[in-house]
Amino acid sequence: MNKVRVRFAPSPTGPLHIGGVRTALYNYLFARKHGGDMLLRIEDTDRGRFVPGAEEYIIEALAWLGIKFDEGVHVGGPCAPYRQSDRKPMYREYADLLIANGWAYLAFDTPEDLDAKRKEYEQEKKIFQYDASTRGMMCNSLTLPDSDVRQRIAGGAPYAVRFKFPADTEITVNDLIRGTVTVNSSLLDDKVLFKSDGMPTYHLANIVDDHAMKISHVIRGEEWLPSAPLHVMLYKAFGWEDTMPQFAHLPLLLKPDGNGKLSKRDGDRLGFPVFPLQWTDPATKEVSSGYRENGYFPEAVVNMLALLGWNPGMDQELFSMDELVDLFSLERISKSGAKFDLKKAHWFNHEYLIARPDEELAALFAKILADKGITAESVYVARVCSLVKDRVNFVSEMWDQASFFFVAPQSYDEAAMKKRWKENTPAVMRDVKSILTGLDDFSEQNIHDALHHYSEEKGSGLGQVMIPLRIALVGGTFGPDLQIVAAMLGKDEVTGRINRILAV
RNA sequence: GGUCCGUUCAUCUAAGGGUUAGGAUUCAAGAUUUUCAUUCUUGCCAUAGGGGUUCGAAUCCCCUACGGACUACCA
């Protein structure tokens, strides 16, 4: 078997969509799994849709996720250049080759001509298709006399090169995920291979480059399945059938509500990003949120994406990139589209968050604290992180769970006060304050013993002591073990907070 | 409209002719806890419908329904 070589070939028309990220990930996993190469090729043959910054965005996003390339526009390699606009001259030669062999022809029809034709057909409730049945009545090198064609070319008339599909032939595509797909050529139209602006279309450039770059497997989205027969025919036309790559068309990522392909708009509407990184549209200045900026860990995004349309057939759900590489196979990719599940994405991030070392979480949380003008010892912050990480999905949620470790509560939970703050509570709190003040060693254990002893002596339930104290210290009925909280705050802060609530 | 692809709990999915159709997320309940959360236990919830083939079908075949993609000198 030839060496596995796969490519991720996005078009720089905007930020990389999360579906595109998954395609890149599957290509990467497949390449690593088989000890092959992963290339990044930029398909920028449509000058009209080029968006500045998109290429850089794609590179940065994949790097953030840990998807590495062996060759590509940003790292170079033996098949350079890897940007199609930089490969422009070679496509023309291949188009000419096809024309010479009778696999393609020149079409002089203008966009207006084609529009008119479509309208004409529409009137009769028919669909116009440029194919074997209609090409004879169009303006092209098949219908025009040779002299006329030469004259038009000499006169600089614009023209496109179209593929000449043979009439009524069965074309089969062998797909690694879907099996054999057969289509009759009469249903396909004579696709433009080379545009009048001098650039190839996706179809031509893609085949020429995949061949030149010795791509062994084409792993791409399902939206390409309908044009796969054309691609197969192009390999045949070029005589490259024996080195034609194998195809694998991935199921689509669907929007979580309703139906349809996940699109740019859905993300912020439904509360989750569709882009790996935040993106600001250079033209409209519109900002779209990204996973990175929303506080997702790249490992969590990779893990979640890997399992959206593929699974290793075991109950385990948490995998490192290395494990994914080890387990990955195209055979286990599902055929149907997958809906994005926001809750599960949160769960994945939660799992990765609690697995992170406290010091690392502390470093991230310290930035949030700094934004609020709070500085604290990193050991202390790490301890706080260890206490609250179980109850959050994102580092950004830690403040809500841990603010009382840094600042006294600004207000007290009213419902809790109503329910737990009784007639005798102020007296109890005063007792607690004096007991705690009397403690020489303000340790968890001592606080615990003292409070339990007091509660027993009083004959009241522990809750009547602990819950009001909790409200005094944290502001509500939530948070970690109270003895730990008290010990961390220190005696002065604790008594101060008791005084505060007594004053209210 | 046409072509192609698809369809198992709400969601991601397992089960490649023989299981009480399994797991995870969500949701609900219980246990634990001074509180909240965690954790643990339990529960709810699915083979789109109809025909075949077979001793036996989620699994193979056909039809229907539904969903999606494609149908540009975009990728």
| A144-170 per-position pLDDT tens digit | 999 999 999 999 999 999 999 999 899
Q: For A54-104, how does the pLDDT look when each residue is reduced to its tens digit (9 = 90+)?
A: 999 999 999 999 999 999 999 999 999 999 999 999 999 999 999 999 999
Report residues of chain A scoring pLDDT below 70. Answer: 1, 258-259
Three-class SS of residue A9?
coil
The predicted pLDDT at position A260 comes to 75
The topology (CATH level 3) of A88-201 is: Glutamyl-tRNA Synthetase; domain 3 (3.90.800)
Q: For A276-293, how does the pLDDT look when each residue is reduced to its tens digit (9 = 90+)?
A: 999 999 999 999 999 999
Contacts 24+ apart (CB under 8 A), A130-137: A130/A162, A130/A189, A130/A190, A131/A165, A131/A186, A131/A188, A131/A189, A131/A190, A132/A165, A132/A166, A132/A167, A132/A168, A132/A185, A132/A186, A132/A190, A133/A167, A133/A186, A135/A105, A135/A162, A135/A164, A135/A190
Nearest nucleotide by C1' position to the A226 CA atom:
B70
Three-class SS of residue A181?
strand
Three-class SS of residue A395?
helix
CATH code of the region A5-73+210-258: 3.40.50.620
The predicted pLDDT at position A1 comes to 61
What φ, ψ does residue A103 adopt, rounded to 5°? -95, -5
Within 7 Å: CB of A270 and strand B? no
* Distance spanning both ends of chain A, measured CA to CA: 79
Within 7 Å: CB of A244 and strand B? no
Angle CA A356–A384–A478, to nearest 5: 110
The predicted pLDDT at position A75 comes to 97
The predicted pLDDT at position A464 comes to 87
The predicted pLDDT at position A434 comes to 93
The predicted pLDDT at position A458 comes to 83
Distance of A468 CA from B49 C1′ (whole Å): 60
Distance of A239 CA from B54 C1′ (whole Å): 47
Within 7 Å: CB of A477 and strand B? yes
Domain boundaries, chain A: 5-73+210-258, 88-201, 356-405, 414-503
- Per DSSP bridges, beta strands A253-254 and A338-339 are parallel
In CATH, which of 2.60.40, 1.10.3470, 1.10.8, 3.40.390 is domain A356-405?
A: 1.10.8
In CATH, which of 3.30.1360.70, 2.160.10.10, 3.30.565.10, 1.10.10.350 is domain A414-503?
A: 1.10.10.350
**Is the ipTM of this structure higher than 0.85?**
yes
Distance of A401 CA from B75 C1′ (whole Å): 46
Q: Is the backbone peptide bond immediately before A251 cis, with ω within 30 degrees of 0?
A: no
Angle CA A457–A430–A418, to nearest 5: 95
